[in-house]
Structure 1
């Protein structure tokens, strides 16, 4: 028995692969195109491990996907691969349309062809698990109820629109062709191996370098924060027991403003790596808000708890401490991931 994981060298995908192989001997085939956010170093601890096979390739390459399915005969395809940074989707939406929509379509068609030829027992056991985001639901007001799985889709960025489209494709392939699919929509992930253009790692890395800590607008945009290994455990639960064709929202029950997040990171750094210049909060800088910035996301994760018994193991206090400590302990990883192109991107994006 084997699983095929797309995007397995990215932040969430690599944490899932590492978590899977820490508790299971079932082999993993990882497919990743190794674009800017796909880092093979994330999987370095698996070098020489016979349970893991890495394949560099594009999910839009239908022939390659079909070859991998035929060769490895996986019982499940877990689809993490995606362009995921909202800011990048605003300045360059084309890559998001290609990867998130065309790529998902290509995977669905390859999976459908493979699944249709399986024997009855293997056909019944196969799963196509699509990993998506809470951003497809749009933005919430301060007093609105959190997103439930029945919430109308109202995507507001090119990124969230492309993910909404991919969710609809997955649903259609189930209802039209019977492909056994599962979809999970998660809140904002954080934790080790996070590419430092996202809020939490960017704040940690910039603070340690004595650089400005850029906060969009007034800093009061609210997100629900989910520790990445909790996300991995939730996906395992859905893969094992989720009802076919269903969507499960995965959240951390941690609503916080961006400003509160940055203050928390600064306080931990003040404790764990004090700076002679004073509190890292002195580096906070407010910058022009990004276009169409959703005000609040919040996940209602009661369905997955009710049906599958899953709840996050980490509180935000425990998860953020582990995250900050990981970045303090891995300066070499940070240095290697910060290419010249990455520095150019941050300089371009976060201007006062």
Structure 2
């Protein structure tokens, strides 16, 4: 039975896991002032609570400044337990135009990202502008504050197939405006551009550019819907009715639990080489169909509770979104510690507890 830590919204086991796994990193953050964008999202809440827990457990003398468009709404509706924390303060604004704090920030974690949840047609333009303007603002702040390290949470989406399917000759690739303006293309190119801008800023101003290319995750606060397959399946399991895979179930993914995600991000922030990207994700590949059945099993549902809507195409190779973890393992000693089934159990337990108390 996992218990919520008093004064926090996450399980005590998870916060203690992060604290323990980062024992070699905490001395490098003693007395640090960390600035966090994307503070109210999935990554951000995990980072906030983990840092606050470690700060108190180890007397690190940390200060955390979090950027939010609406901090009062966040504290009132989503995180009242974070109100009046001595080590936590908020700046109101967005990544492109926030007021840079007067007190020097030693480390920046740029985790802001805007998903197209509402399917708005102007999303490509807004997302690209936010990526460019927000990263420029972060680089300016890092230069002004002489920051030690800037962590950019990039994405595994930056990887794409080489547009060279005609032997040694390159074909044009995008077939028109619709391809260029597609969510997948804009998201990939904006993340790649953010990496380039951060690396150039690091070279020019002397801070470290820590780049984390993030793949797929599971854990408390994972959005239950949108374009997150794991979130959709867990949402269905929580309903107790039917777990639906809308495709053929063959795509391959690997999942990292959120507590391990925090360990990896903070290790890369402190120990990663400048300008060198590190993949962040799970180790073992599972198909979406297998994931659905594992969610059903951990939720105590029968196998026939899973419905796969489409038949696989005979002989077709499954699409795969899988990171190589070799660099993170060899250079930083990172390993996924929490197995997928345990991660699913913890996520289900956390959401069920949340539903019971709402």
What TM-score comes out, normalization by structure 2 length?
Answer: 0.72
SS of the residue corresponding to residue 309 of structure 2 reads: strand
Does 1:130 find its partner at 2:161? no
Contact 2:289-2:308 within 8 A present in 1 as well: no
1:284 pairs, out of 304, 307, 314, with 307
**Aligned ranges 1:151-300 → 2 under 5 Å:** 156-197=184-225, 198-209=228-239, 213-270=243-300, 279=302, 281-282=304-305, 284=307, 286=309, 295-300=319-324
2:81 pairs, out of 8, 23, 45, with 45
Query: 2 CA distance for matches of 1:200 and 1:74?
Result: 35
Q: Report how far residue 157 of structure 1 moved.
A: 3.2
Higher mean displacement: 206-215 or 256-265: 206-215
Runs of 4 or more above 6 Å deviation: none
Query: 2 CA distance for matches of 1:210 and 1:86?
Result: 25
Q: Which residue of 1 aligns with 2:33?
A: 2
Contact 2:295-2:344 within 8 A present in 1 as well: yes
Q: Which residue of 2 aligns with 1:103?
A: 134
Contact 1:221-1:296 within 8 A present in 2 as well: yes
Stretches of structure 2 that go unaligned for 5 or more consecutive residues are: 1-31, 163-182, 313-317
Q: Which residue of 2 aligns with 1:306?
A: 330
Query: 2 CA distance for matches of 1:45 and 1:287?
Result: 44
SS of the residue corresponding to residue 93 of structure 1 reads: helix
Count residues in correspondence. 293
Contact 2:249-2:308 within 8 A present in 1 as well: no
**Deviation digits for residues 107-156 of structure 1 (CA, Å, limit 9, x no counterpart):** 222322x13xxxxxxx4x6111111111111269xxxxxxxxxxxxxx95
Query: 1 CA distance for matches of 2:311 and 2:200?
Result: 39
SS of the residue corresponding to residue 97 of structure 1 reads: helix
Higher helix share: 1
Q: Which residue of 1 aligns with 2:48?
A: 17
Query: 2 CA distance for matches of 1:14 and 1:318?
Result: 21
**Aligned ranges 1:64-75 → 2 under 5 Å:** 64-66=98-100, 68=101, 70=102, 72-75=103-106
Q: Which residue of 2 aligns with 1:317?
A: 341
Does 1:329 find its partner at 2:353? yes
Contact 1:207-1:280 within 8 A present in 2 as well: no
Q: Report how far residue 332 of structure 1 moved.
A: 6.2
Contact 1:249-1:300 within 8 A present in 2 as well: yes
Stretches of structure 1 that go unaligned for 5 or more consecutive residues are: 116-122, 141-154, 336-352
In structure 2, relative to structure 1, the CA distance for the partners of 1:43 and 1:187 (3 Å cut) is same
Q: Report how far residue 177 of structure 1 moved.
A: 4.2
**Deviation digits for residues 258-281 of structure 1 (CA, Å, limit 9, x no counterpart):** 1211111111112xxx6xxxx375
**Deviation digits for residues 268-318 of structure 1 (CA, Å, limit 9, x no counterpart):** 112xxx6xxxx37536352799xxxx9211111122222222212211122
What TM-score comes out, normalization by structure 1 length?
Answer: 0.73
Does 1:83 find its partner at 2:86? no
SS of the residue corresponding to residue 192 of structure 2 reads: helix
